[in-house]
Structure formats: C-alpha cells, structure tokens
Structure 1
Amino acid sequence: MKLLFILILSMITAWVVAAEPVHLKGSVIDKATKQPIPGASIFISEINRTVISDENGRFEIHPLPQKNVLVQVSFIGYKSIIQKVDLSTIDLEVTFEMEESTTTIDEVVVSGAYVMSRESSPVVISKVDRSAILMHPSPSLMSTLSRVPGVSEVSMGPGISKPVIRGMSFSRVLSVYQGARFENQQWGADHGLGLTETGISGVEIIKGPASLMYGSGAMAGVIHLLEENDASAGQVEGDINLRGYSNSLGGRMEAGWKGMGANGFNWSLRGASESHADYLDGDGQAVGNTRFNTHNIKAGLGLSQKWGDTKIRYTYLKQRLGILDEDEREEMVTTRNDRNMQLPFQQVTDHFLSSISNIFLGEDKIMVTLGYHWNFREEIEDDFEGIDLGLRQQNFMYDIKYFKSFSPSLEVIVGGQGFYLQNTNYDEAEEILIPDAIKDDRSVYSLLNYNKNNWVLQGGLRYDHRKVTADARADKFLAYGFELPGAPEDRILERSFGGITASGGATFRPSDRWRFRVNLATGFRAPDLAELYSNGPHPGTSRFELGNANFEREQNVQTDLGIRYRTPHYTLMAEAFYNRVDNYIFFSATDQRVEDLVVWSFEQDDAYLYGGEALVEIHPMAMKWLNFMTSYSTVIGQRRSDLSYLPYIPAFNWNQEITVRPSFSSNSLSALYLKLLGSWVMDQQRVALLEEQTPGYYLLGANIGAELKVAGQGIDVFLSGSNLLNKTYMDHLSLYRPFGINQIGRNIALHLRYKF
C-alpha cells in the first residue's frame, strides 16, 4: 500500500507541474515518387493515439512524453513502417517514406507486456483489428475471432460463445478488458465471453501460456480487447453505426463521441444496443429460445501530458440470453420476430471500473492498472419473478509494473499483481451450485527483453500464491442442504495454491525475408470454484454438477516453434506447439442421477496437446489488387494415462480467403473491396469417452464494402454473408450438438458507419 500511495502522490504532483509539450510533426511520402500520401495512419501505442495524414501527407501529434516511442505508419497498398522515434527534441520533424506492397503482415502489439512489432515477438500473438470485425461481423464477437488460425469457440447458439485456443478453453483462457483482468464466472459451459465489440480498436490473441504476465487462467492464452484510440489533440470525433442480420432478424445500433483538448484532457462516451430473435438452421427450422439482447454503455476520462498519462474507464453491460430447453424445443418456437424472453434464460449485468496510469521517468516507466468489477449472474428457469441460480461476484485487481531501461536494447520489467474476488449466492435463489467463496491472489514477476540487430530475447520468472476459502455457514446453505466436500463441521474449507512459472523465447530475423521464433513457457491454473466445490443442479444445463476439493493446480509446459519466409509475391508461415499439462481437469457425464438430472463430475488426469498452424499468402506484385490467403489448423488432445482423447477439442480446419481491391474510385465511391471466404472443417473422429463423432462441413462466405459519398458526407458500407450455401451442420464444440441441434444457417449482415 505504501508503494501505491507513493505512485498516486507522484501522479498528483506531476499534474500540477507545468510541462512544455512535446510535438511530433512530419510527413508521409511515397519512397519511389516522393509524392505525399494522404490518409496514412500514424499510431503511437504507448499513448493510445492515432492521427491521419492530411491531403499534403502532413501530420502532428501532441502532447507526447520526452522519450523513445514506437511509431507505426500504415496505409493500404504499402508496407507498414514500425520505427522507434526519439522525442528528446521538443519539436521533432520526421519524414516516413513508404514502399508499395500488396500485403502487410507486421504491426505493433502490446499484449506481450512490451510494445513491439508482432513479427519480433517471441510470444505468438495474432491481431484482429476493428476493420476486420466490421467486414465480417457476427452476433457474437467470439465467432468473428474464431477465424484466426488456432482459435475456435465453444458455443451455445449465436449469443453465447467462449474462446478455445489450441484446444484449451473455459477457465484456461484469460480475458483482458480495459487493461485489466476480466472474470465473469467463465467456468460455466453456458457462460460466454461476456464482452462485445463496443468501443474497441481490435483484439490481440496470445496463443500459448501467458501466466508470466497475466497469472492464473492464462495457461492457454489471452483474449485482449484493445480500447479505441483517443481523439487527436484539439479535435472532437464521433461515429454512428447501424447493423442488421437477416437470419435472426437482429439489429445493432452503436454511437460514440470522443474528444481531446489542447491541454491533453480527453474524454469518450459510447453506447450500443443489440437485439436478436431465434435463429434459423440450414433447413430453415427455427431454434427456439436462442433470442438475446444486450445493452452497453462506456465512458472514459483521461489526461495526457509530457510526464505521462492516466485514464479512467467505466463500462456497463447487460445481457439477456435465452437458453434452449432440449425437452421442449418445439414448444419454444414462437412467431418469427418474437423477442420476448422465454423461460429459461440468463440475465447478466456487469459494471467494470478501471484505470491505467503511465508515469515516464526518462526512458523508464511506471505503469499502474487498477480495476473493480461487479458481476451479477441470474439464471431464471421456472418463474419470471424468481431466480433459480443467483451469483454476485466482486473483483478488485491491481497490477504495478516498473519498466527499467538499461540501454536502447535492454529493458526489464518488475512488478506485482493482486486479485481479490468475492463470490456470494443470492439469498432468494432457489438453487445453489457453488458456495460463497473468496479468492485471494498475490504475485511478483520479472521479465527481461533484449532487442538488438536481428535478435529479440525474452525471459522471466513469476511466483504466485492463491488462497481459496469456501464458506457454507449461511442459513441459505443449511436450508437448502448444501454440503461442502467432506462435510466439515465448521462448514468452511480452505485451499492454497502456489508455485513458480517461467518463460523464455527468442526471435531471429536475419533478413526481411526470414523470421525464426522459439518459445518455451510454463503456465498454471488454480482450480476454479465450480471444479472444487460444485454440488448441485445447474439451471439451463440439465445437469447435476459435482466438484472435487482435492484437485491440484494445473501446470503446463509448452514449446512453440515458428518460421516465416516472405517475398514480394508470397508469404509462407508455419507454427508448431507441444503442450504437456499436469493435472488437467475435465468434465464428464456419469451413470448416476439426482432426481431427473444426470450427474456430471470433474476429473483430473495428466494430458498433452499438440498441433500447429500453417499459412500461405499469395500477393503478386503484378496484380496488386489481388490477395489470396489460406491457413490450416490442427490440434490433438490426449490423456497421458491411457492415450484416450480429451473432450471439447476442435476438428482440423482449413480456411481460404481471396481479397480483391480494385483501383477504381470516383467522387462518390472509394476504398472498394470484395472478399470471398471459405472454411472446411474436417470430420472430428478423435473423440472422448461418451462424445460422438462429428461429420465435417464446408462454409462459404463473402464480403463487399466501400466508402460512399452522400451529400458530401462519407459513409462506410459493409455487406457480408456467412454460410451462403445454407449448409445444415453441427459443430463439434457446440453445446447443442449432443441434442442434435444444427448451427445457424445463411446469414446476411449490412453495416453502415457514419463518421463525424
């Protein structure tokens, strides 16, 4: 607490000290012709700011810290520039010369703790930017992200889906939102990612153990939602978005407004609302009670100065999600456009408050992230006026990092994290699945980064300690008859988990054509509350769930190897991984029943997962308007004891993508593109005990878009279609698959964006 007080006092002192602002000015030009490039994007991640070059290729960014920063310059048809710029000069003038290129595979990423180019990072990080989300939107953000090689989704209709990274899911994938850890009872199979695309600039996905920087729950990887960039100094910007979906008759409205004064004070406000009726499968059959709606409000206040910056953000998100009852499927089908909630359904409300502050001390930096999260999850099954399962969760987290620069090529991060979670059952809830509980995490870590010439080396250590206290003393537990494992007399159970994790990796780029990457990392995950203490029916799943308080923490060691070769005409890339997991926890059905519910119990065994991704991109310089990309993803998961297969492992997947960007433009139409997408999901025959094999299928999609000028105003138009052949299919990771329920059929989406 003393350190936190000193940091806050330092920030207050810095606010009241006048500082001469630092400006970065310059121009963006074509390297060959020396002509200006208007519309180029100049992005500085460390201050979350983007500016666009004007009609003369000129730009200006201020206020800025007086230190080295990494600048990314990008424009369609040109190779991105990622360059360190020394801002020790108060008014710096720089010229960026861009080379023509038909593809851009490099970009700045922040999820590996250091701000660096994605190609230089020893950690495997994929990035999906905002434009890609708009080009091929989905009712669930996770469905859009699942086109990333090595990424899949466990789904329960179009409204509920959660991430799967290289075969690992549930509590093994950590979500980072507004810079802070986001927990929303994601252990539940019917609990989705719980986050939307509102107000984000993109998503970064770490594929592989990231426990070193993010702690328990990141042993499979991280889904990091990046906040939208701040407005330019002295500017007020806004946009209005309208979207419709044909299949579920869904609609989404979103509007945002942000600004920054000349003194660095900035603000943002954004709201969104979305509503969907029941979806239709490929046979045109309605799947009852898959309707859902969401309401989202985001606001932020910040200050950016020479000494650093600080930002406070708040998000409100409310979701109402229908749950299909497999015993009453036909009765749940109502009129086509019916959006009224039916029983059963979930009502999930989140309030998320966070702050991020950066204090620049020469080339060093202190970064303080604080977050507080209120999550209310209500599952309503029998009566609209009652609550069957009600859980209230409050989380407080902090992450304090000190970035120490020893030289331009050597930097070290030392830090500490804490996470305090309190879970409470509603007094009025009709059913109890898990007890009241407290999770208390404490950790310290250190990470080294060496970046010189053609080499990037990273390595680090971390120590964690978690204490979990389950409490079933309240009258509601006695009246319900809930018992903790072993039925302790004082009705309290405590478990502690601790250990050391480590990571080490290297990237070697001998030339612009070749890139080699190797990474060896350990990750861990303490069992979640459901795995330890669940003992009751789970509304909406038709299961009686049973935990085991004797589980040990999961620990994995993963090796990643990657190679990339690029020419002006094509790119070849391959990534392979081998993941050895001790004490892997999984869920399986038993032959026992409690009343009319099948008992599902958690089990623990050693396992391994292995596979990889391959990518080929063809971008002929003679046809700069054409780009072809194809990727192949594989993962196999097995128990080490008997080599039987693990549950919820995705099938092999082969994606194809052809993009055409005609050079045609006029006063009323520009930035025209056309994209065809294909996805061939193979037969999944490597199934776990009691799982059934799933036949493969092929899905075809298409996107077309452009910027239209209407009455002098620009409107971005995105038209996309998924499952255009209206294929009737079941995905192996769908929670509806055991009931013979098909996935969504043909779906056409139209998105309009007006910026002002």
Structure 2
Amino acid sequence: MKILIHIVLFFTVLNLYSQHSITGSIKEANTNNNIPFVNIYIPQLEKGTISDENGTFTLNNIPPGNYKVIFSIIGYETLSKNIEVPQIEDLQIVLNPSAIEMEEIIVSTPFHKLQSENVMKVEKENINDLKANGAVTLADGITDIAGVESISTGLSISKPVIRGLSSNRVLVYTQGVRLENQQFGDEHGLGINDAGIESVEVIKGPASLLYGSDALGGVLYLNPERFAEANTNSGDVTFNYFTNTNGYTTNAGYKSSGDTFKFIFRGSLAEHSDYKTKDYRVSNTRFGEKDFKTALGFQSTTFKTELRYNANIIKPGIPEDIGIQSTNKTPLPPYQEVTNHVLSSKSTIFFKNSSLNVNFGLLYNDRKEFEDEHEDDHEDHDEEVGQEDEKHEDEHHDDLQPALQMKLKTFNYDIKYNLPMFGKFETIVGLQGMLQENSNYGEEQLIPDATTNDIGFLVVTHIHLNTSELEFGARYDHRSIDVLNNINPNYKSFNGAAGIKTNLKENITLRLNLATGFRAPNLAELTSDGVHHGSNRYEVGNVDLTYEQNFQTDLALEFKNEHVEVFANAFYNMVNNYIYLSPNGSFIDNTPVYNYLQNDAKLYGGEFGLHFHPHPLDWLHFESSFETVTGKQNNDDYLPLIPANTFSNTIRIEFNNQWLNKGYAFTKLRTTLKQDKVSMFETQTNGYTLLSAGFGGTVKLFKKDLQLTISGNNLTNKRYINHLSRLKPEGIYNIGRNLSFGIQYNL
C-alpha cells in the first residue's frame, strides 16, 4: 500500500510542473457562426469537454506531446486534428455541415483513429441503438451488424459468427482484456450483459497481428461506458419489458468524476419465460441473469489508470423438445449456471512524446450444468396441472448437484509502447500473453484439467502520406498446452498484415488489407472422448491436430458525400488445416461418434449497401444492405453453420418538436434467403422475411431527460427457422412476434 501511495504522490508532483491547456473556438464553415455544445475528446487521454454557448472550449491538465483531438456534433462532419502541446496559439476549428451521422473513434485498432482515417474497415454500433431496435440480449443485438450473425440455442445462449467463423475462431474483448469462458462449446453463450457497455466494434477478418491466437476469424470488441466528465456526476435507471417472453431487463447506474478520481457503479437484473412462436412456447428457453459492474479511475497529466470489475451470473435452461406450456421463469433440468468474474486494470504512462500502455486481466469462469435425475412424462397433462408439477420439480431441482462443473482461471496481459512519432511514422511495439488453468469438479468431464500458456511479440507501424495511409506489422506467438499426465503440445506461428487506405477521388475511398491469422486447437478438439450431451454426439479428439493458418484479402470501396453513402466490402479467406467434426458411422451407447478432422478450406463473400439522405429531406434516412458468405472445403464440400444470404432495408425518420426531442421512427424489412449450400450432414433451410418497426424519443420530466422506446420484431408472427439455430434439427421455430417497451430516466 505504501508503494502505491508513493507512486501516486510521484505522478502528482510531476503534474505540478507540467500542466498545459488546449483552448480554441469552433465555427460553422458556411456561415462563420459559433457552434455551441460540440464534443471535444482526446482518445489517448480519454479526456474531453464540451464547447460553451459561444463555441469556445478549454481542456486543462494536458501533458506535453502530440495528440489527436476529435470534434463532433450531430449535423456536422466529425473532425480529427493533430495538436502539439504546449500550444502556440488558440485553435480555430471549422466544421462542415453534414446529414451523415457523426463518426466515432475506433478503439479496437492500435492507433485509435476515426473510421474515415482507419486503414482497416471496422464496424461500430452503439448499444442503445441496438436496444432501440428491440434486441433482447447483446448477442441478439449484434446480428444487426452486416456480416455478423449468431449460433443460438433459444434467446439466452448465442455465439457470435463473423463471416461464417465462430467459437474459438472469434475473439471477444471486454474491459480491454480478452474474454475466456469456455467458448469452444456450441451451447456456451457470450456471458456478457449489455448494461454498462457503450458500443461494440467488429473486426471482420484475421486480427492475429493485434490479438494473437483465436482472432483468426475476427474480433468482437466491447467498449465499456465512459467515466463522467471532470467535476460532474450523473445517474440513470432503465427498464425494458418484452411481451413475447413476459420478460424484463432493468439496470441502474451512477458515476461521478473529480479532477483526478472518478468511479462508476451499475447493477442489472433480467428474467424471461420460454419464448413463444405462433403455435407454442419453446420449453425451457427461460433464463435469469444478474450483472454488476464497477470502475475506479485516476488521472493526472502524466499518468492515468482505471480498474474495472464485472460479475455476471446467468442461469439458462437448455431446450430439448416442446413440453409443458407455461410462463414460469425458473429453468428446469437440463440447465446451466454460469458465473463470470472479470477484473481488469488499464494504465497509461505519458512521456514527452511517447506513452506506455499496460493492461492486465484476471478472469474466473465457473460453469455448471445440471441434468434431471429421472425422466418424467408430462405430455398428457394439461397446462394447469403441468404448472403445478413444475413447482414441485423446482423444489426438487434445488437439491441437484452439477453433473458437469468446470472452473477456468485466466490471467492475461497486454503491454504496448507507443514510440515517439518519427516524421510521418507512428510505431507500436508490444508484448501480450495469457496463463490459463482449467479444472474439473463434476462427475462428467468434457475437457481435461490443463494449463495453457501464451506469449506473443508484435510491432506495427502507421505511415501518413498526402492522400494515403499505410499500415503494416509482424508478430510471433508461442502457445503451450499442458494436459495433466497426458500430452504437452506446443504451437508456434509468425503472422503479418499490411494495408492501405487511399482516396481515389474526393469522395471515393479504397481500403486494401492483406493479413494472416492462426488458431491453435482447443482442448475439446485435442482430448474429447465422451458424450457431448448438448450436441447429442460422442466426440473423439485428435492429439495430432496442427494449428489453423489463414490468409485473407479484404477490399473495401466507399463513396460518401453530404447526403449519400455507398459501400462494397469483399473478402477471400483461405484457411489451411481447418478443424471440423465428422461422423465416422459408428455408435457408442446409441450415440453417433464424431471425430475431429482437418482439411483446407476457403470462405468468400462480402457486404454491400447504401445510406441515403434525399436533399433537402435530411430527416429521412433510407438504408439498404446485402451480406453473403460461402464456405467450402478443398474437396468442394460446403462447410457447416454458414449463415444464409440476407437483405436488409430500413426507412428511418428523425424529428424534434416542443414535446419530443431526438425523436425517431423506423420500419425494417429483413429478408433471409434459402440456405441450400449446406454441409454433408446438414439440411437445407427455407428463406423468410421479417418485419420490424419502432419509434422513440426524449421528453422532459422534472427537468430531467426521460427516453422512451417502443419497438416490434417479427410483427407478422412469421413461423421461421434460422439456419444457425441449434434447435433446427428438432424443427423448432425461432421467436415469434415480440413487442418491447423501454424507458430510461437520467437522474
């Protein structure tokens, strides 16, 4: 404790001798009028302010150095400007009017740039926007992002799919650290609640250069909510109700910041009954979830640090067939009880023209699965009797012991040094690693006790040219897995990436990225030897599996002016030694046996779309997109679990009046085509079209903002089955019509 006090005092003393400010004014390009209430933000410092009524601003306590400062407000193009501190003269900032939504900083790539400046195309969505569209869970909401789908078992268990790749091929980051929660399992959900998460970024393609193994298919990067601005505080209470599941989510949070110290508290609770289709409720898709997040931050001019903690407990049922119809919310066996703890530390030390970022993460995942000790046949009972039986069952199941219990403990670290800028060159060198221990405590065992150790070294450089941006880098990784008294495989890989972003003409941008990635086999693929009840198959691992290695080419074209955006993103992904499951034709205990095999594979496709604001109707938005992906083995057999091609069309209007501020209304039509490009052991899936609509806005209540949202999904109550639903083999439909009602009151 004394050491910590001395460190804080040391940086506080430095602070007294190196305080600087950034000052200036902001005007509109066409009229030269002052622009009030502009957001001014420095990503490197995570520090910002708002311009006053006269368009002037001041940012205090800035250490010497070169910083990217972002100026953004709705109705104007976002401006990114490099500022040298100490400042010679006041800044004179000019913003151009634009009906296109303002840009935000991309955090998941190394140099924290605006999307328009980024060499790599990264999709970013605000969580509030996804929830306003009626998303029940975070995993449900991200499927609105082009190129992103999810493998689902009901509503509570979903896994992200990026361009046809999922599970251990997609890495999830939360609170700045990689999330580890036994993500190899098809019925293992995301394990993150959207409360306290501000936005999500999606890297579509190999990101092993930045993140190491398991980022072969892409990265889902979750940005936590920011601290309050200096010397301010705020609180909010949110409640959402969903008619289909008779379910609700609620959360409350408070945050406060002084000049140096700041903190956040947020708690959330959710409960849902079995979801309903047009014909029936899907038994045991019910779930409950509790979530708590807190953060503590300290910031001076030469040092900043934040400590975040998240505890998440989710208890989802595992559906098997259509049984008793009820609206109870307590899951019946089989069900899971999953507890996730994430403790992260994120610190930056600022030198004169460089900085050192140090991130640490401690994660603890306790996964329990409960099975019924006997089978009861309820099919002849009516609903009233069935509900009474469930009450008795709930009392009995409270005494159940987990048939399966795995505890996963993970420590990961990420250290990056931002070298001083040399001319047009920005360079980062880094060290990343992970130490992980898996232990079994239940009667059954999916994967053995084992220890995994990762270490990786990287260097990446960004070059600023007159009309282009270049980025390239290289990385070396080593992973060792020590399976207790069994095997000790080691995997080594070199990877690299290179990209260019250039302006072909004034409004046309081209991005070309070439990247390699790798993924070491997980414990299930190496060592499985038993029945995987959630998948109804006997799985046999293969200790001779080698690591997957891929090479992907991405080409992105974008046209953008004041009232229209058109984009086309295409990719071709070659994966060597792709690992997959295949039945061998035999049975053990009446369960089909599946072996883990390898073969080279390829995936290709892309996303295409437009966003149109017809002048002078800037309040009207029309958005249209198409996404497609095809996955094949080298023998021309199709890969399993490849999402179907999808069209999405949205009409959205925005308005303000005396009683409703930031008002909006939308109608969305999403058409999923027939999926007939299926693997040898899959069946085809018919296409379908879903209609959604909603509206909302902000009103004043006791001089505080009250946000109201109403949305409806699958308004025609369509019977349909998504190709990536794990309930598809049983012919069970996805969720029917669902209306959601949300309120958020800012305290």
For the criterion TM > 0.5, the same-fold answer is yes
Deviation, structure 1 residue 537: 2.1
2:458, 2:474 within 8 Å by CA — same for their partners in 1? yes
Instruction: Kindly indicate whether residue 188 of structure 2 is the aligned counterpart of residue 194 of structure 1.
Output: no
After the TM superposition, which residues 103-252 of structure 1 pair with which residues of structure 2 at under 5 Å, given as runs?
Answer: 103-104=100-101, 106-252=103-249
Alignment partner of 2:276: what SS?
coil
Deviation, structure 1 residue 731: 0.4
From 493, 498, 514, the equivalent of 2:492 is 498
Name the stretch that deviates more: 147-156 or 703-712.
703-712
From 551, 562, 566, the equivalent of 2:560 is 566
C-alpha distance in 2 between matches for 1:225 and 1:303? 22
Deviation, structure 1 residue 522: 0.1
After the TM superposition, which residues 14-29 of structure 1 pair with which residues of structure 2 at under 5 Å, given as runs?
Answer: 14-19=11-16, 20-29=18-27
After the TM superposition, which residues 579-728 of structure 1 pair with which residues of structure 2 at under 5 Å, given as runs?
Answer: 579-640=573-634, 642-662=635-655, 664-666=656-658, 668-728=659-719
Name the stretch that deviates more: 98-107 or 120-129.
98-107
From 376, 393, 396, the equivalent of 2:411 is 396
Alignment partner of 2:209: what SS?
helix
Structure-2 residue corresponding to 1:355:
345
CA, structure 1 residues 238+58, in 2 after alignment: closer, same or farther (shift >3 Å)? farther
Name the stretch that deviates more: 397-406 or 642-651.
397-406
Structure-2 residue corresponding to 1:277:
273
Instruction: Kindly indicate whether residue 525 of structure 2 is the aligned counterpart of residue 531 of structure 1.
Output: yes
C-alpha distance in 2 between matches for 1:214 and 1:116? 18
1:432, 1:537 within 8 Å by CA — same for their partners in 2? no
Structure-2 residue corresponding to 1:33:
31
Name the stretch that deviates more: 592-601 or 498-507.
592-601
C-alpha distance in 2 between matches for 1:98 and 1:727? 46
C-alpha distance in 1 between matches for 2:176 and 2:8? 19
Deviation, structure 1 residue 82: 2.2
Structure-1 residue corresponding to 2:40:
42
**Shift >6 Å, 4+ stretches:** 6-12
Per-residue displacement from partner, 1:40-85 (whole Å, max 9, x unpaired)? 3333322334444444445444443332222222222222222223
Structure-2 residue corresponding to 1:513:
507
Structure-1 residue corresponding to 2:379:
none
Deviation, structure 1 residue 108: 1.7
Instruction: Kindly indicate whether residue 299 of structure 2 is the aligned counterpart of residue 304 of structure 1.
Output: yes
2:288, 2:330 within 8 Å by CA — same for their partners in 1? no
Alignment partner of 1:407: what SS?
coil
Deviation, structure 1 residue 619: 1.3
C-alpha distance in 1 between matches for 2:93 and 2:737? 45
Instruction: Kindly indicate whether residue 277 of structure 2 is the aligned counterpart of residue 286 of structure 1.
Output: no
Structure-1 residue corresponding to 2:308:
313
CA, structure 1 residues 615+50, in 2 after alignment: closer, same or farther (shift >3 Å)? farther
Structure-2 residue corresponding to 1:550:
544
From 342, 356, 365, the equivalent of 1:366 is 356
2:675, 2:686 within 8 Å by CA — same for their partners in 1? yes
2:29, 2:95 within 8 Å by CA — same for their partners in 1? yes
2:697, 2:708 within 8 Å by CA — same for their partners in 1? yes
Give 1:317's aligned amino acid. N
Per-residue displacement from partner, 1:151-173 (whole Å, max 9, x unpaired)? 11111111111111111111000
State percent identity of aligned pairs. Answer: 36
Per-residue displacement from partner, 1:244-272 (whole Å, max 9, x unpaired)? 1111111111111111112x111111111
Give 1:622's aligned amino acid. P
Per-residue displacement from partner, 1:369-426 (whole Å, max 9, x unpaired)? 1011010000111253211111000000111111113335211111111101100001
Give 1:752's aligned amino acid. I
Structure-1 residue corresponding to 2:382:
none
Alignment partner of 2:685: what SS?
coil
Alignment partner of 1:604: what SS?
strand
Deviation, structure 1 residue 562: 1.1
Structure-1 residue corresponding to 2:333:
343
After the TM superposition, which residues 366-385 of structure 1 pair with which residues of structure 2 at under 5 Å, given as runs?
Answer: 366-383=356-373, 384=397, 385=400
Deviation, structure 1 residue 139: 2.0
Deviation, structure 1 residue 717: 1.1
C-alpha distance in 2 between matches for 1:186 and 1:499? 22
Give 2:276's aligned amino acid. L
Alignment partner of 1:623: what SS?
coil
Q: Aligned pair count?
A: 719
Deviation, structure 1 residue 469: 1.0
Structure-2 residue corresponding to 1:474:
none
C-alpha distance in 2 between matches for 1:278 and 1:78? 45
C-alpha distance in 2 between matches for 1:95 and 1:746? 52
CA, structure 1 residues 16+531, in 2 after alignment: closer, same or farther (shift >3 Å)? farther
So what's the TM-score if we normalise by structure 2?
0.93
C-alpha distance in 2 between matches for 1:182 and 1:572? 34
C-alpha distance in 2 between matches for 1:66 and 1:284? 66
Give 2:265's aligned amino acid. L
Give 2:456's aligned amino acid. S
Give 2:79's aligned amino acid. I
Alignment partner of 1:341: what SS?
coil
Deviation, structure 1 residue 334: 3.8
Deviation, structure 1 residue 28: 4.0
C-alpha distance in 2 between matches for 1:94 and 1:749? 46
Give 1:396's aligned amino acid. F
Per-residue displacement from partner, 1:78-104 (whole Å, max 9, x unpaired)? 2222222333239x7434333221113
Per-residue displacement from partner, 1:663-722 (whole Å, max 9, x unpaired)? x411x3211111111211111000001100001111111121111112322211121211
1:143, 1:161 within 8 Å by CA — same for their partners in 2? yes
Structure-2 residue corresponding to 1:755:
746
Deviation, structure 1 residue 455: 1.1
2:74, 2:102 within 8 Å by CA — same for their partners in 1? no
Alignment partner of 1:232: what SS?
coil
Name the stretch that deviates more: 130-139 or 713-722.
130-139
Deviation, structure 1 residue 541: 3.2
CA, structure 1 residues 497+84, in 2 after alignment: closer, same or farther (shift >3 Å)? same
Gap runs ≥5 in structure 2: 374-396
C-alpha distance in 1 between matches for 2:631 and 2:555? 18
So what's the TM-score if we normalise by structure 1?
0.92
Gap runs ≥5 in structure 1: 1-5, 472-490
Per-residue displacement from partner, 1:187-210 (whole Å, max 9, x unpaired)? 000011111212111011101110
2:157, 2:187 within 8 Å by CA — same for their partners in 1? yes
CA, structure 1 residues 189+363, in 2 after alignment: closer, same or farther (shift >3 Å)? same
Name the stretch that deviates more: 574-583 or 253-262.
253-262
C-alpha distance in 2 between matches for 1:619 and 1:18? 48
Alignment partner of 1:458: what SS?
strand
Name the stretch that deviates more: 98-107 or 692-701.
98-107
Instruction: Kindly indicate whether residue 70 of structure 2 is the aligned counterpart of residue 72 of structure 1.
Output: yes
